[in-house]
Amino acid sequence: MNRYHYKAFISYSHQDEPHAAWLHQALESYRVPRRLAGLKSQHGVVPGKLTPVFRDRDELSSATDLSEKITTALDESESLIVICSPASAQSPWVNEEIRLFKTFGRAERIFCIIVDGDPQSDEPGKACFPPALLENEGGLKHEPLAADLRKWADGKSLAKLKLVAGILGIRLDELRRRDLQRKRKIQAVAGFAITAVIALALFAFQARLSELKAKDAQLRNRENAETMLTQFIAATENLEQTADLQTRKAFNDVASNFLQKLDPDDLTLESKRSLGKILQKQGEISYGEGHNQIAFDLFVESKEILASIYRESPGDQQAIFDLSQVEFYIGQLHYYRGRYEEAYNSFSAYRDASEKLITIDPDNADWVMEMAFALSNLGYIEKHKNPPDLQNALKFYQDALQYSERAILLDETWRSELANFHADLADTSIEVCDLSAALSSRVQAAQLAERYYMADPANNNLKRVHALALSGLAIVQRLTGAIEPALFSLQKSVELLNQLYLEDRTHLLNRWHLLTKSSRVAYLLSFNGQMDAAWDWYLQTEDMGQQLIEDDKDISQSHIRQYSIFLIRFSEMAFRRGVKQKAKDHLDEATGLLQSILTTHPQDYDAIELLGFADYYRWVQNDGEKPVGTAPPIPVTKAETEILQNCTEINLRARQAVMSGDLDRARQFTAQLYAKGYYEPEFMQFCVKFEVCGP
C-alpha cells in the first residue's frame, strides 16, 4: 500500500498563482488512459488518477520557517513539482521546500515546469531555477530537466503530459500515444452515443404513438411531443460547452427529422416554445459552421413561433427572453451582411425586450445582464456604421459596463462576463484614440478572462474569451509601440485558439479567429527583427486562409474585411522582402474583395478605410505613382485636424497627404498621433521614411 497521502506537492511563488491553479486543476482532473492504469511502473502500480495534489494557498511572508502543515504535506507527498520562474528562483520558501523534500531521500521525484525566465541564466530576475534545484548530493551544480509550458517550447498540453509521465514513472511516448487514442475514442463515441440514444428514443416514441393512435391520439401526441421537445432542449444545452459542432449537428439532425413529423395542430403552448428554441439551436449550429443564410432562415422561423407565444402571453418572462435571444442572432447576421440599419433595429428590439424584463423583475440578475449585452451590441453598430458615431458608441459601452456591474452585485456568477465589457470599452477608447484608457480597460479584461478561465479550463467558451482578451490587449500594446509585450500576449492567444481548433476543426468562427491572430503574430515579428520567422508565419497563415476561404461557403462581410487586412499586411511584408509579384497579387486580391463589399454596400466605412490603405501601399510599390482611384473619399465636414478622433483614420490621412505631396499637412497629422501616444510600428516606419515625424 502506498504510504503517501498526496500524489504530488506543488511548490511555487505566489506571484505564479495562476499557473499553480491551472496545474493543480489539470493534474487532479487528468484520467490515466485505461490501458495504462494498473500496470507496473518504476514507481509501482499506475493509478487511475492523480489525486490528491497539495497546493498551499496561504502566503508565508510573515513566517520565519516552514509551517508544520507544509512540512507534513511535503513528507506525505510522493513527488514534488516546482513551478520555475524568476519569482520562484528568488523565493526563500520555494527553496526551503525543495531542500526539505530532498532530505526525505526522494530527490529523484522532483519535477520541474518552467513558466517564465531563462533556464541558462544565473542573473537575478532572469534565472528561473531556485538554487536548491541546482545542487546535487556532492554540492556540485547541475541543470535539472524541466517541462516548459511556454508556446515556443512544450506548450501546456505536452508540459502537463511530461509531468504526468514522470509522476507515474512511465515513458512519455507511451503516455502520449495512449492519451491520443483515448481522446479520439471519446470524440467518436460521443457522436455515436448521442445519435444512437436519440434515435432509440425516437423509435420508442414513434412506436408508442402508433400503439396509442386509436386511443386519445391527439392528447397523447401533444404530451409526447412536449416531452421529446423538452428533452431535446436540455440535451442540446448540455452539449454546448464541450461537444464539437459535428456532434451537436448529428444530434440536431435527428431532432430535425422528428420536427418534420410534427403536426402544428398537435402543439401546446409549451411545445411551441420548445420548437422555437430547437430551431434557434439549429440556427446557432449553422451559424458556427458558417452557413449564414441557413442560420438566418432558422432564426426567422424561430422568431415567428416565439413571437406568437408572446402575443398570447405578453407578461410571460420566458417568452420575452426567448424572443430577445433570437433578435440578437438575427441582428448579428444582419451586421455580418453589412445591413447596419436592420442590425440596429434587431438589437434595439433586444434592448426593449430586456427593458420589459427588468420592469417585471428589477432584481433579476439575468435580465439586468441581458440589458448589458443589448447595449453593447448597439454600441458595436454605432462604431461601424458610416459615418460612425464614436461618442454614442462610447456611451452605449459605458452604460453596458454599468449594467454588467449591477448584475454581478445581484449574482456573482456573472463575473466571468465582465472581461468582455471592459474589452468593448477598450476597443471604443481605441476608436477615439484614448490609448491610456484603452490599455487600462484591456489589462482589466485580460486579467478577468484569465482568472475565470483558470478556474474552469475545460470550458471552451472561457478559453475563447481568454484568447480574445489577450489578442485585444496585444492590439493596444502594438499601437503604443510595445512590440515585445504585444507579441507575448498574441502568441499566448494563438496557443489557446489553436487548442480550440484542434478540438473542433469544423468550427469556422474559431478558425477565423486563429487566422487573424496568427497573421498579427507574423506582422509583429516582422517589426521585431525576426523577418525570417515572420515570413514563415505568413506562409503558414496564407495556406490557412486559402483553405478557410474555400471552406466558408457563406462568408460574411466582416470576415472578408479581416481577410483583406491579412492580404494587405502580407503584401507589405512581401514587398519589404523583395517578393514583388506576391506583394502585387495580394494587394490586388484585397482590393477586389473590398470593392465587392462596396458594390452592395457603398457606405461601408471600414471597407472604404481599408481601400485607402491599399491605395497607399500600391503607391509605395509603384515608386510613388498615384494609383487609379479605388477608395471613395471619407466624408469630412470640418477642418480635418480639428475633428478627427480615430487614430486609424488620422494615420490614413497622413499617408494620403504624403501621396499628394503635402508633407506639412502630413506632419500635422503625425503630431496629432504622437500627442495621443500612438507609436504603431508600421506607422513609425512610414513616418521616418517620408520624414514627417511631427512638426
DSSP calls for 290-346: T-HHHHHHHHHHHHHHHHHHHHH-TT-HHHHHHHHHHHHHHHHHHHHTT-HHHHHHH
- Asked whether 195 and 250 are in contact (CB, 8 A), the reply is yes
- Asked whether 470 and 445 are in contact (CB, 8 A), the reply is no
Question: Which DSSP letter does residue 144 get?
Answer: P
- pLDDT at residue 225 in the model: 53
State the Cα–Cα distance between residues 691 and 695, nearest whole angstrom.
10
Mean predicted confidence (pLDDT) in 158-177: 82
Task: List, in order, residues 6 or more apart from 577 with CB less than 8 Å away.
Answer: 531, 535
Residue 645 included in any domain: no
Query: Which residues on adjacent β-strands are paired with residue 643?
Result: none
Q: Are residues 217 and 158 in the same domain?
A: no
Number of structural domains (the chain) is 2
- pLDDT at residue 682 in the model: 92
Decide if pLDDT at 351 tops 90: yes
- pLDDT at residue 635 in the model: 45
Residue 373 included in any domain: no
Residue 693 included in any domain: no
Mean predicted confidence (pLDDT) in 361-378: 91
Question: Which DSSP letter does residue 163 get?
Answer: H
Q: Are residues 15 and 143 in the same domain?
A: yes
Task: List, in order, residues 6 or more apart from 286 with CB less than 8 Å away.
Answer: 292, 294, 295, 298
Decide if pLDDT at 271 tops 50: yes
Mean predicted confidence (pLDDT) in 504-513: 86
Share of the chain above pLDDT 90, in %: 33
- What the block records as the C-alpha cell of 569 is 499586411
Query: Which residues on adjacent β-strands are paired with residue 112?
Result: 82, 146
Q: Are residues 100 and 201 in the same domain?
A: no
Task: List, in order, residues 6 or more apart from 236 with CB less than 8 Å away.
Answer: 248, 251, 252, 255, 278, 281
204: confidence class by pLDDT, cuts 50, 70, 90: very low
198: containing domain: 191-312
Please give the residue that has the higher pLDDT: either 247 or 560. 560
Domain boundary among 277, 312, 347: 312
Task: List, in order, residues 6 or more apart from 314 with CB less than 8 Å away.
Answer: none
Q: Are residues 164 and 208 in the same domain?
A: no
Q: Are residues 126 and 237 in the same domain?
A: no
Among 91-105, 189-203, 305-319, 408-422, name the one with the lowest average pLDDT: 189-203
213: confidence class by pLDDT, cuts 50, 70, 90: very low
Decide if pLDDT at 182 tops 50: no
Please give the residue that has the higher pLDDT: either 60 or 372. 372
Decide if pLDDT at 553 tops 90: no
Strand, helix or coil for residue 571: helix
Chain segment 454-465, per-residue pLDDT in tens: 877 878 888 888
- pLDDT at residue 643 in the model: 52
Chain segment 46-101, per-residue pLDDT in tens: 888 888 899 875 434 334 456 788 888 899 999 999 999 999 999 998 999 999 99
Among 185-189, 219-223, 262-266, name the one with the lowest average pLDDT: 185-189
DSSP calls for 422-479: HHHHHHHHHHTT-HHHHHHHHHHHHHHHHHHHHH-TT-HHHHHHHHHHHHHHHHHHHH
Mean predicted confidence (pLDDT) in 26-31: 83
Enumerate long-range contacts of 631-637, CB under 8 Å, 24 or more apart: 632/598, 632/602, 632/608, 634/605, 634/608, 634/609, 635/387
Q: Are residues 198 and 276 in the same domain?
A: yes
- CATH value at residue 57: 3.40.50.10140
Q: Are residues 69 and 124 in the same domain?
A: yes
Q: Are residues 199 and 153 in the same domain?
A: no
Residue 480 included in any domain: no
- pLDDT at residue 62 in the model: 38
Residue 565 included in any domain: no
Q: Are residues 95 and 163 in the same domain?
A: yes
188: confidence class by pLDDT, cuts 50, 70, 90: very low
Q: Are residues 137 and 67 in the same domain?
A: yes
Instruction: Establish whether the linkage from the previous residue to 602 is cis, with ω within 30° of 0.
Output: no
Strand, helix or coil for residue 266: helix
Mean predicted confidence (pLDDT) in 363-370: 90
518: confidence class by pLDDT, cuts 50, 70, 90: very high
Give the CA radius of gyration of the chain.
29
Chain segment 619-676, per-residue pLDDT in tens: 999 887 655 545 554 544 334 444 566 888 899 999 999 999 999 999 999 999 999 8
Among 449, 499, 453, 491, which Cα is nearest to 474's?
Answer: 491
- What the block records as the C-alpha cell of 514 is 486563429
Task: List, in order, residues 6 or more apart from 478 with CB less than 8 Å away.
Answer: 486, 520, 524, 680, 681
Among 23, 30, 145, which Cα is nearest to 83's?
Answer: 23
Q: Are residues 156 and 15 in the same domain?
A: yes
Decide if pLDDT at 364 tops 80: yes
Q: Are residues 123 and 220 in the same domain?
A: no
- pLDDT at residue 172 in the model: 76
Residue 22 included in any domain: yes
pTM of the predicted model over 0.85: no
Among 455, 378, 315, 424, which Cα is nearest to 18's?
Answer: 455
Among 169-173, 401-405, 561-565, name the one with the lowest average pLDDT: 169-173
- pLDDT at residue 143 in the model: 66
- pLDDT at residue 256 in the model: 57
State the Cα–Cα distance between residues 597 and 603, nearest whole angstrom.
9
State the Cα–Cα distance between residues 470 and 442, nearest whole angstrom.
8
State the Cα–Cα distance between residues 536 and 538, nearest whole angstrom.
5
With cell 461601408, the residue in question is: 604
Instruction: Please state, rounded to an integer, the average pLDDT across all residues of the chain.
Output: 81
Chain segment 558-613, per-residue pLDDT in tens: 889 899 999 999 999 999 889 999 999 999 999 999 999 888 888 788 889 999 99
Residue 371 included in any domain: no
Domain boundary among 141, 170, 199: 170
State the Cα–Cα distance between residues 254 and 135, nearest whole angstrom.
63
Among 254-263, 276-285, 469-478, name the one with the lowest average pLDDT: 254-263
Decide if pLDDT at 616 tops 90: yes
State the Cα–Cα distance between residues 204 and 206, nearest whole angstrom.
6
Decide if pLDDT at 242 tops 80: no
- pLDDT at residue 231 in the model: 54
Among 70, 75, 58, which Cα is nearest to 5's?
Answer: 75
- CATH value at residue 242: 1.25.40
- pLDDT at residue 680 in the model: 93
Residue 657 included in any domain: no
Residues in the chain, overall count: 695
- pLDDT at residue 651 in the model: 92
State the Cα–Cα distance between residues 442 and 436, nearest whole angstrom.
10
The helix or strand, by DSSP H or E, that contains position 549, with its residue range, turns out to be: helix 531-551
Share of the chain above pLDDT 70, in %: 79
Decide if pLDDT at 250 tops 70: no
Domain boundary among 312, 343, 375: 312
283: confidence class by pLDDT, cuts 50, 70, 90: confident
Distances 349 to 506, 546, 553 between C-alpha atoms, Å:
32, 37, 29
Q: How many helices (H) and strands (E) are present in the chain, helices listed first?
A: 27, 7
Range picked from 10-24, 282-296, 469-483, 498-512 for highest mean pLDDT: 469-483
- pLDDT at residue 189 in the model: 39
- pLDDT at residue 158 in the model: 81
State the Cα–Cα distance between residues 569 and 576, nearest whole angstrom.
11
Strand, helix or coil for residue 66: coil
